Structure 1
Amino acid sequence: MSYTSPNWSTSVLITIDTQNDFTLPNAPARIEGTAEVLPRMKSLLEAYRAQGLPIIHVIRLYKEDGSNVDICRREVIEQGAKIVAPNTIGAELVSAIHSSNYSLLDADKLLNGEFQLVGENEWIMYKSRWGAFYKTSLEWFLQERNIDTTVFIGCNFPNCPRTSMYEASERDFRVVMVADSMSQVYEKGIQEMKNIGVHVCNAEELMSDII
């Protein structure tokens, strides 16, 4: 366990795709269960902010011409569906997880691969595919800040959180999955994460560890 146990003082809390178009009632690409985990996500974010620990919100932006969209979704975007389109309310983080200094997304900056500062020690970054490390500078960003533990919460475990946790593990980060603060979690998936050394916990356990 010495290589996989979390180091909370050098950890980062990473939210995945918790955007209006994936979360709110009647949203065009609503993921069941995401709204329900928001209260626990909010509590964890507030705890990290209170401790001065870093936070990164990872998001999607689908250009309306479909040019940057996964091939499994590209056709529906090309046909006119507007999902997390740049410079729309649907692309914004849900208000429940905003920092006190939150500002609207700077789509040009994010699509260019830059990190947007939205609070003290808190950023937003864009990913173009399932994984947060795929063609992004996230690994470098974390290493520059001596962060060795990645804590994941947010939207739709089977897709982006799971892929991102595998990618973090491949890069020798210590990985934490907060199972009750992530949508679409199922028991087999939890076991798969444990099998690759992911520390699986719930929000209450995490807060007791970092406070």
Structure 2
Amino acid sequence: MKDTKYALIIIDMQNDFVLPGAPACVAGAYATLPCVRRLLDFFRANSWPVFHVVREYRADGSDIECTRLHGFLNDKRYAVPGTEGCEIVAELAPVEGEYRVVKNRFSGFMNTELDFMLRRIGATQLVICGTQYPNCIRTTIFDAIAHGYPVINVTDATSAQTPQIAEANITDLKNIGVECVTLREFLQSF
């Protein structure tokens, strides 16, 4: 659509979630890097807004979800500010003019300025990718719909621990009206 103002939201593509062997590695995340990068390059080439939504937790666990607290404190800490693991993977590092939004819950909308910023720039169509189904991707998409944003999920730029988990979530997202497309399908629509 000619009057559509797209915004790309890349979720949790941080070293601790993406790199093999990292403390909270999502099995499918690393493989999506080329697709996420091509999507990011497309947005950059069009000078469209990009939001890097990242997760951060205090090292003492005081702001982590109750369901993750025990493992975080007793097994492995991850996404702690100031650590290399908390950084966005090098292939997707933000450039000047791109936004970085910090969350400490699954949804990129919960207790963040994301909705305010999207409305301020006039975004009318969100394109969401990153890691992982069913947690941060799904809750961010559901909250986007609840806030009144149409959403496109680029499926091969989005990861899960297994292909089965991804497929189940894609089915659910389609059932609430989310457009779920491959990167190729998305790019061909322009």
Normalised to the residue count of structure 1, the TM-score between the two structures is: 0.83
Output the CA distance in 2 between the equivalents of 1:78 and 1:190: 32
Q: Which amino acid aligns with 1:28?
A: P
Gaps of 5+ in 1: 1-5, 102-118
1:44-59 aligned within 5 A: 44-59=39-54
Identity of aligned residues (%): 33
Q: 1:137 to 1:155 in 2, by over 3 A?
A: same
The residue that corresponds to 1:105 in the other structure is none
Deviations, residues 147-204 of structure 1 (Å, cap 9, x unaligned): 0111111011110000100000011101111111101153232121111111111111
Residue 154 of structure 2 aligns to a residue whose secondary structure is strand
Residue 186 of structure 1 aligns to a residue whose secondary structure is helix
Q: 1:72 to 1:182 in 2, by over 3 A?
A: same
Q: 1:40 to 1:7 in 2, by over 3 A?
A: farther
Output the CA distance in 1 between the equivalents of 2:89 and 2:57: 17
1:62-141 aligned within 5 A: 62-79=57-74, 81-99=76-94, 101=95, 119-120=96-97, 122-141=98-117
Q: 1:7 to 1:20 in 2, by over 3 A?
A: farther
Q: Is residue 107–residue 140 contact of structure 2 (8 Å, CA) maintained in 1?
A: yes
**What's the CA shift for 1:124?**
0.8
Q: Which residue, out of 142, 149, 162, partners 1:166?
A: 142
The residue that corresponds to 1:14 in the other structure is 9
Output the CA distance in 2 between the equivalents of 1:148 and 1:9: 6
Q: Which amino acid aligns with 1:10?
A: K
1:208 to 2:188 alignment: yes
**What's the CA shift for 1:208?**
2.5
The residue that corresponds to 1:191 in the other structure is 171
Q: Is residue 4–residue 124 contact of structure 2 (8 Å, CA) maintained in 1?
A: no
Deviates further, 60-69 or 78-87: 78-87
Q: 1:201 to 1:74 in 2, by over 3 A?
A: same
Q: Is residue 7–residue 149 contact of structure 1 (8 Å, CA) maintained in 2?
A: no
Gaps of 5+ in 2: none
**What's the CA shift for 1:79?**
2.9
The residue that corresponds to 1:36 in the other structure is 31
The residue that corresponds to 1:145 in the other structure is 121
Q: 1:7 to 1:187 in 2, by over 3 A?
A: farther
Output the CA distance in 1 between the equivalents of 2:25 and 2:132: 10
Output the CA distance in 1 between the equivalents of 2:176 and 2:149: 12
Normalised to the residue count of structure 2, the TM-score between the two structures is: 0.92
**What's the CA shift for 1:54?**
0.3
Output the CA distance in 1 between the equivalents of 2:183 and 2:55: 24
**What's the CA shift for 1:9?**
4.0
Q: 1:8 to 1:67 in 2, by over 3 A?
A: farther
